[in-house]
Structure 1
């Protein structure tokens, strides 16, 4: 079993903070293979919204992106094409990609229709993937929509429960939201429940790059359904998980996929009690499903922290923690705006801007966060609340998932 490298950095927090507290960044990295093996075969369903709102350039570019994705697959891969409006059509049942151009032509014939039966479209794609599911293949539904689910089930929690059940059979779900009329809460919830990715695409011209990134991510994956248990010894407590990762039913953190050579960073705030000047140990349990064997693997390690009163201030740690705190503030501002609490939203935006100004003056690396915040504020200044909400949520999602900023 390839074992992840576990590194950590601990820093004195930015004031104000409680005595004997510190910010801790854990970094997990799977090694690059010495002798790379052939990648795992993919078993994909591309589920495309062809409702009336997709008519014109949006559907044309969505078809082009799907065709580009098919052409990147090989004969060892399988793909199905599902289209939905008020009804669902399995355009191409799950098939080995031995004649990519035949599949490409089937996609080309798609035409726009009526309403948005999002759930039924996802179910059809999931069933196509499950019909050819194997432990040695990467099984995923990739759903693209530009609108609100208005036919069939549409409650986020109910749909997320179905997506989570599919994940229990090793079928994951990624979602792409196009434009400014879809339900971003629903799509992000589906991606988190389905152990996939959520991507906000503002312009149809970006779709091809997004489909490519999704395939590239699948092809570099070595572990999925990743969880982390954090067990502090007596006298040490975890006060915050700055990433705001969702939790498993047993309370462990749900982490992003493990990819060879790409670190996952987890930021915590910890506090000690009892004997001053004494170091403490944090026990870690990382678990994941290996994409080659399908087995559930576990790796246990521990980090021993120095006495927290003596730790130095590390700008790199402070920059990451501050970036994650900014994600929280943006989330609070967006939710306040959606509730109609404009005073609460203004206070959160002001606090975020103050945090950035203070951090930059202290030498923290927050330039990307500053740009990301201004992109959201610019949309709000022009009255484009829908775009601002989607961009802010997408930025926060990518930040929490140890990814780069989402830009316009």
Structure 2
């Protein structure tokens, strides 16, 4: 029922010297025609002010799409939160989908972010209907930082682990650029759930569908692997995302979480091996256990496997073909390097972080792995991140992409989740431009499944093939002119030859010039208002503005900032004539007052009108 196999990165290890070796272990629940497991699901959605407009609209549409994909045997609840926690849909079987979607569609944006309150309420609902034969899951979506309720990441992370021990697993979804990725990844890891970075508002439905597909495919849970190392063998590193501990005998215990139908759970290990004579070298004994679906009932299964390396002469090792799993191990090695580089950079060791990434690039190229398109793409990512780290300019978006790419590769074996990133490279704005293609080849950058891909537009080339292209100048919608293209050695993708320029045809708007100057400018002066709120201009988008809400504070009406990165409890200088309890406004700018503990609204004020979500 639970199958395992392994491969070393070298088919034959050389005799005569101690060496480092990487090994890839695979686990798969072999369940013939596994039936779909029913869900006990709570959607917990951030409706704080920073979600106002298009973000909340798309989040709610994604929630409605979840309803469409559920069955009457599934249990669903929907929780929404800002500073208050509400339940548009109490736990119930998914029988009246129209009513459920209508309740979701009535949700509107509000105040600040009580993440813990909303999440714990969703956990309570799932716990109240806990069924070990179902997938019991909370999906927590937020676009911001917790600034009300329990805010300590250590407490929230440890609580996620405790809830998982009680049978309630949490998956976290970070929306756009304002959320705390360390918190959401930490909660997902502690709970053995999943984490997703929803990079653009229109991909919310796609990401929700990926998670639902994953939940339907769960055929095993609580996969635990214990390593019993042979004499002289030592564990250097674990190249997979896992919870690691030691048992009473001192053996390493690795918790890998869920098993998915048709998907191998990968465990990469980096080991120091002793010198050995030609023949078989015992490396470790593997003890594993999991709770697996069998005949529509969850049963505990366990097993033991011996891991043995083949040792040959130096000549035999040199002439042996590289292991066929070298590409998969390289993906894990790259993901681990990204995680390490980010940690180093945040400790101030930017030079060491850059050097590690560049050393890995050289190693991958020396092995010829850049002839594989996915590894070549990873090399471009490594180049991009190494350059950004060296400049101290990784930024919020770069940090999120780096964390997401590392997490997804180390956690899952799905190509549609790895290498994602749609933020435009900064260098695209400074590129030289041309007005026509001339004798060159025209390329276009498009977004496919959360990734920026470059395709050929000129005739005479295969438009279905990807183009290997520098990550630093990729931007969705950009067009380029290159001198030429050459096929990779296996003919599966193109490489750019010669110089690269950006194409900006006469008479067509240059979206990248416009993007640099699109942010509205504030006068810097304190806002003034008309006679009443009804006289304010209206908007249904926040854009680059700041969202403000009028709240009742005792007998007074106060204006408070509800956009993230501001103090939610500070008062604000704001025109009294337009204050109405509960109303949302968009202002051009918010400045800190001279007292250092309040704000001043500056520039134009618009009344925010909630967009309608149609079912």
> Fold conserved (TM > 0.5)?
yes
Alignment of 1:40-79 (within 5 A): 40-79=37-76
TM-superposed deviation, 1:294: 4.3
> 2:8 maps to what in 1?
10
Measure, in 2, the Cα distance between the counterparts of 1:65 and 1:375. Answer: 32
SS for the counterpart of 1:200 is strand
- Residue 270, structure 1, aligned to residue 271, structure 2: yes
SS for the counterpart of 1:265 is strand
TM-superposed deviation, 1:407: 1.4
Retained in 2: the 8 A contact 1:78–1:96?
Answer: yes
Q: Name the stretch that deviates more: 197-206 or 312-321.
A: 312-321
TM-superposed deviation, 1:155: 2.2
* Offset from partner CA, 1:161-196 (integer Å, 9 cap, x none): 111111112111100101111111110010011111
> 1:298 maps to what in 2?
302
SS for the counterpart of 2:78 is strand
> 2:403 maps to what in 1?
393
Measure, in 2, the Cα distance between the counterparts of 1:361 and 1:131. Answer: 51
Retained in 1: the 8 A contact 2:82–2:110?
Answer: yes
Retained in 1: the 8 A contact 2:283–2:308?
Answer: yes
Alignment of 1:30-49 (within 5 A): 30-33=29-32, 36-49=33-46
* Offset from partner CA, 1:348-368 (integer Å, 9 cap, x none): 443344344334468666223
TM-superposed deviation, 1:8: 1.6
Alignment of 1:175-324 (within 5 A): 175-243=172-240, 245-248=242-245, 250=247, 251-273=252-274, 276-277=277-278, 278-290=280-292, 292-307=296-311, 312=320, 314-324=322-332
- Residue 369, structure 1, aligned to residue 367, structure 2: no
Retained in 2: the 8 A contact 1:153–1:159?
Answer: yes
User: Which one scores higher on RCO, CA 8 angstroms, separation ≥ 6?
Assistant: 1
Pair 328,37 (structure 1): closer, same or farther in 2 beyond 3 Å? closer
TM-superposed deviation, 1:393: 0.6
Q: Name the stretch that deviates more: 398-407 or 240-249.
A: 240-249
TM-superposed deviation, 1:318: 3.3
* Offset from partner CA, 1:127-181 (integer Å, 9 cap, x none): 0001111111110000111101111222222111111111112111100101111
Measure, in 2, the Cα distance between the counterparts of 1:128 and 1:97. Answer: 15
The structure with more strand, counted as a fraction of residues? 2
Within the candidate set 330, 333, 342, 1:325 is matched to: 333
Q: Name the stretch that deviates more: 57-66 or 284-293.
A: 284-293
Retained in 1: the 8 A contact 2:72–2:93?
Answer: yes
Alignment of 1:128-167 (within 5 A): 128-167=125-164
> 2:420 maps to what in 1?
407
> 1:26 maps to what in 2?
25
TM-superposed deviation, 1:347: 3.1
Measure, in 1, the Cα distance between the counterparts of 2:226 and 2:67. Answer: 38
Retained in 1: the 8 A contact 2:276–2:311?
Answer: no
Gaps of 5+ in 1: none
* Offset from partner CA, 1:75-129 (integer Å, 9 cap, x none): 0000000001112112211110011111101110011111111111110000000
Pair 348,270 (structure 1): closer, same or farther in 2 beyond 3 Å? closer
Retained in 2: the 8 A contact 1:360–1:366?
Answer: no
Q: Name the stretch that deviates more: 310-319 or 249-258.
A: 310-319
Retained in 2: the 8 A contact 1:372–1:407?
Answer: no
TM-superposed deviation, 1:339: 4.0
Measure, in 1, the Cα distance between the counterparts of 2:266 and 2:369. Answer: 25
TM-superposed deviation, 1:317: 3.5
Between Structure 1 and Structure 2, whose CA radius of gyration is higher?
2
Retained in 1: the 8 A contact 2:171–2:195?
Answer: yes
Retained in 2: the 8 A contact 1:330–1:348?
Answer: no
Measure, in 2, the Cα distance between the counterparts of 1:157 and 1:148. Answer: 14
Retained in 2: the 8 A contact 1:359–1:366?
Answer: no
SS for the counterpart of 2:325 is helix
Pair 284,341 (structure 1): closer, same or farther in 2 beyond 3 Å? closer
Retained in 1: the 8 A contact 2:29–2:220?
Answer: no
> 2:113 maps to what in 1?
116
SS for the counterpart of 2:305 is strand
Report the TM-score when normalising by structure 2: 0.61
Gaps of 5+ in 2: 422-615
TM-superposed deviation, 1:369: 1.4
SS for the counterpart of 2:244 is coil
Retained in 1: the 8 A contact 2:225–2:253?
Answer: yes
> 1:85 maps to what in 2?
82
Measure, in 2, the Cα distance between the counterparts of 1:224 and 1:118. Answer: 27
Pair 8,37 (structure 1): closer, same or farther in 2 beyond 3 Å? closer
